Structure 1
Amino acid sequence: MAHRVVLVVFPGVQLLDVVGPAEVFAGAARLEPDAYELVVASPDGSAVRGESGLRLDADAALAGVDHADTLLIAGGWGYEEACVPSVVAQVRRLAETASRVCSVCTGAFVLGAAGLLNGRRATTHWAMAGRMRSAFPGVVVEPDRIFVRDGSVYTSAGVTAGMDLALALVEADHGAETARTVARWLVLFLQRPGGQSQFSTRLDYAVASASPLRPVCDDIAADPAGDHRVPRLARRAGMSERHLGRLFAEQLGTTPARFVERVRVEAARGLLEADSTTVATVSARAGFGSPETLRRAFVRVLGVGPDDYRARFRTAERI
C-alpha cells in the first residue's frame, strides 16, 4: 500500500509549506509508483484561503481521516487557527499511530500545543524561534537548523525548508538516488549548505535602552572595525571585565567577543551583497584581521564561507 502523507492545512496557511513537500513526494512517486498517497485535510473539510489569498481545496475533514503514515502540519501566519483545541485533539489522535510526525515553519506550534514536542529538540522559522521558546519552555528550540529530527518527530524551518525536509523523508524511504533525482528535477540541493542564519534579518540586539550594555552595543554596531577588545569595552562601560561578561551572558546570551564577531559578520554580509569588493577588502572594512579570519567567522556563524554567501545573495543586477 502507498505510504499515506496527510497534509494539515488551515485558513492563512503558507501554501508553499503544502505544495513544496507535495511536489517532492509526487516526484518520488513518479520514480517509485504508488510510493505515496497525499491527503490534504482541513479542520472542517472545506477549502482554505492561504495567506497569499489563493484558495486550496481539501480532500477531507481532519476528523474524518482514519490514519496517517506521515502526518505533516503546514505553517503560515494563520497558524493560530490550527492551535484551537478541536484541531489539536485530532492532530494528537493521528500522531498516536503515525510512523512519523512533521511540521513546516509555524506548524511546530501546533505540535507544541499537542504536547508532541515536550522534551524534544525542534526548530521553526527563524523569525518565530523566540516566540516558540517562550510558548513551549519544555522544547529545546534550535533556531539555526533547516530541519531537526528527534526520534519520529521532524520539524523544519520556514517555507522552502519544507522541501528540504520532504527530500530527507524520501531519502529515508527510498534511498539517496531517488531523493537526488527528485532534487535535480526541482532544482534543489539534496542537502542545503548552511543554516537559517544566512537568511535572517540583520542583527537585532534586544537590549533595553536603560541597560548599561546599550551604549556599548551601539558603539560596536556603529563601528564594527573598531578596537572592541574586552578590556577596552569594559573601560568604555565603566565596569569590570567580569561584570561586562556577566551582563552579556544575562542579557544577550553570548560573550562580548562573540557579539563583536556577529556584528562584524553582519557588516561583511552587507558589503558582500552590495558590490564586488574583494574578500580581503571586506575583511579589513568589517574589522577582521585577515580573509581567513573572516572565512572562519562566516562558517561558524552562518555555516557557509564568504564566497559562497556572495554567490547566493549578491544583488540581481550584479549577477
Structure 2
Amino acid sequence: MHSVAILALDDVVPFDLTAPMTVFDWAQLPDGRSPYRVTLCAEKPEVRGDGLVLRVERGLDALADADTVVVPGRKPGVGPTSEPVLAALRRAAADGTRIASVCSGAFVLAEAGLLDGLRATTHWAAAGELARLFPRVQVQPDVLYVDNGQILTSAGAAAALDLCLHMIRRDLGSAVAADAARRCVMPLEREGGQAQFIVHELPPVPRGSTLEPVLEWIEDNLAGEITLGAMAARSGMSERTFSRRFREQTGTTPLQWLLRTRVRRAQYLLENSDRPIERIAQQAGFGSPTAFRERFRRVVGTTPQAYRSAFHANGTPVTSGAQAGGR
C-alpha cells in the first residue's frame, strides 16, 4: 500500500488540506482494495486554520515513512516555515520521497530549497511573489500543475484535484484515475499545461486623475475604432505627452490598457450572455473573431468558448461588479 502523508501547518487552507485527503481516499483498485493509506501529520498535535482546530495523527516522523508527501497551502503573510519542518522535508527529498505542494504550499518547498532550478507553479495571484522571493525557481503561473518527477507543484483550489489525479494515474494507470475522477465528479481530461483562468486586473487610476474622463470614454466606445491619436485628442494632449502621462499614472501604455479593457468586456459578455463569439468580438472592439480568439487566449490563457463553459452565469446577470466590462 502506498503511504501518503499530508503535512498540515498552522494557518492551513482547509480545502488545500482536504482535497488530497479525499482524492487519495476515494481511489480504488479494480478488486475494491484501497491503494493508498493517507495520514495527516504536523509539527505539533494541534493545527489551526481558518477558524478550525485540527488534531493530527502523527508528527513529522510520518514524512520519513511516506512514499508521497503533500504540502497544502497556507494563508498569505503567515511568516517563515519552522526549521524542523523544512529539515524534515529536505530529509524526505534526500530519501527519494515524492513531494507535492498545493497552491501556496509551493512557498514551503521553495523555503526548503526543493524547487531550486526547477519549474513550479502556485496560485496565479501569488506567482509574482514566489518568483520575487525565490529567483532560482522557474515560476510558471499559467498552468494547473508541474511534474518534475520527484517534486510536483499545483495551482490553487481545484488544481489540487488535477494534481492528485495525475499522481494516481502515474501510480496506477488511467483506469484507476478515471474511476477516482468519477467519484470526485470531475473530468480526468484537464491536462497540467492547461492555463489557469486568470482575471487580469487593470492598474488602478488615482482618484481625481486627469485620465478618468478619457478612460470612461474608452469604456463607452470599445466597439468602435480607438487609436492612440483619438485618445490623446480626447485628453487635449499630444500623443507623446499623453503616452508619457498615461504610463506615469497607470504603469502601462494606452494601447495595452485598451486591449486589457476589451478582454475584460469580452469576459463579462461570455459570463453573462449567450451571444455568439462573433458578436462578442464585435462588441468588445476586436477587428475579427480570429483576432479576438488569438488575443483572448494570449491574455486569459484559454479560448473564449472554454472560458464561457467554465464561467457562464446561466442567464443570471452578475450584479456585484456594476459595469459591463468589470468583474
Please state which band the TM-score falls in when normalised by the shorter chain: 0.7 to 0.9
Deviation at 1:79, TM superposition (A): 7.3
2:35 matched to which residue of 1? Answer: 35
Bigger fraction of residues in helix: 1
2:284 matched to which residue of 1? Answer: 286
From 144, 157, 160, the counterpart of 1:159: 157
From 260, 265, 270, the counterpart of 1:272: 270
1:173 matched to which residue of 2? Answer: 171
Distance 1:112 1:287, change over 3 A: same
CA contact (8 A) 2:12 2:74 kept: yes
Deviation at 1:311, TM superposition (A): 2.7
**Mapping for residues 240-319 of structure 1, pairs under 5 Å:** 260-316=258-314, 318=316
Distance 1:64 1:161, change over 3 A: closer
Greater mean deviation of Cα atoms: 259-268 or 237-246: 237-246
1:81-133 CA distance string (max 9 Å, x none) = 67222322222222221332110011000001001111111111111111111
Aligned partners of 1:265 and 1:107: how far apart in 2? 31
Structure 1 gaps, min length 5: none
CA contact (8 A) 1:268 1:282 kept: yes
**Mapping for residues 76-87 of structure 1, pairs under 5 Å:** 76-77=74-75, 80=78, 83-87=81-85
Aligned partners of 1:115 and 1:288: how far apart in 2? 45
CA contact (8 A) 1:193 1:304 kept: no
Structure 2 gaps, min length 5: 318-327
Distance 1:151 1:218, change over 3 A: farther
Greater mean deviation of Cα atoms: 34-43 or 293-302: 293-302
AA in 2 matched with 1:92: R
What is the TM-score with the length of structure 2 in the denominator?
Answer: 0.79
**Mapping for residues 59-74 of structure 1, pairs under 5 Å:** 59-63=57-61, 65-74=63-72
CA contact (8 A) 2:11 2:78 kept: no
Aligned partners of 1:246 and 1:193: how far apart in 2? 42
AA in 2 matched with 1:76: R
For residue 137 of structure 1, give the secondary structure of its aligned residue in structure 2.
coil
CA contact (8 A) 2:124 2:196 kept: no
For residue 189 of structure 1, give the secondary structure of its aligned residue in structure 2.
coil
From 129, 137, 144, the counterpart of 1:139: 137
Deviation at 1:196, TM superposition (A): 8.0
Deviation at 1:169, TM superposition (A): 0.4
CA contact (8 A) 2:168 2:176 kept: yes
For residue 288 of structure 1, give the secondary structure of its aligned residue in structure 2.
coil
1:234-280 CA distance string (max 9 Å, x none) = 9999999999999999x999987666444322210011212333333
Greater mean deviation of Cα atoms: 34-43 or 199-208: 199-208
Aligned partners of 2:148 and 2:210: how far apart in 1? 40
Aligned partners of 1:263 and 1:114: how far apart in 2? 40
Aligned partners of 1:106 and 1:34: how far apart in 2? 29
1:55-82 CA distance string (max 9 Å, x none) = 4331111145433211110003167367
Deviation at 1:292, TM superposition (A): 3.2
AA in 2 matched with 1:107: G
Deviation at 1:31, TM superposition (A): 4.2
CA contact (8 A) 2:145 2:153 kept: yes
CA contact (8 A) 2:146 2:154 kept: yes
Greater mean deviation of Cα atoms: 132-141 or 303-312: 303-312
CA contact (8 A) 2:131 2:137 kept: yes
1:181-219 CA distance string (max 9 Å, x none) = 21122111213279786643342337899x999999887
Identity %: 39
CA contact (8 A) 1:74 1:105 kept: yes
2:24 matched to which residue of 1? Answer: 25
Is 1:48 the equivalent of 2:8?
no
Distance 1:307 1:86, change over 3 A: same
Aligned partners of 1:247 and 1:110: how far apart in 2? 41
Deviation at 1:287, TM superposition (A): 0.8
| Cα RMSD for the two superposed structures | 3.9
AA in 1 matched with 2:37: E
What is the TM-score with the length of structure 1 in the denominator?
Answer: 0.80
For residue 78 of structure 2, give the secondary structure of its aligned residue in structure 1.
helix
1:3-52 CA distance string (max 9 Å, x none) = 211111122211221221122212224547342221211111x132322x
Distance 1:31 1:20, change over 3 A: farther
Greater mean deviation of Cα atoms: 293-302 or 144-153: 293-302
For residue 178 of structure 1, give the secondary structure of its aligned residue in structure 2.
helix
Distance 1:119 1:213, change over 3 A: farther
AA in 1 matched with 2:35: A
2:3 matched to which residue of 1? Answer: 4
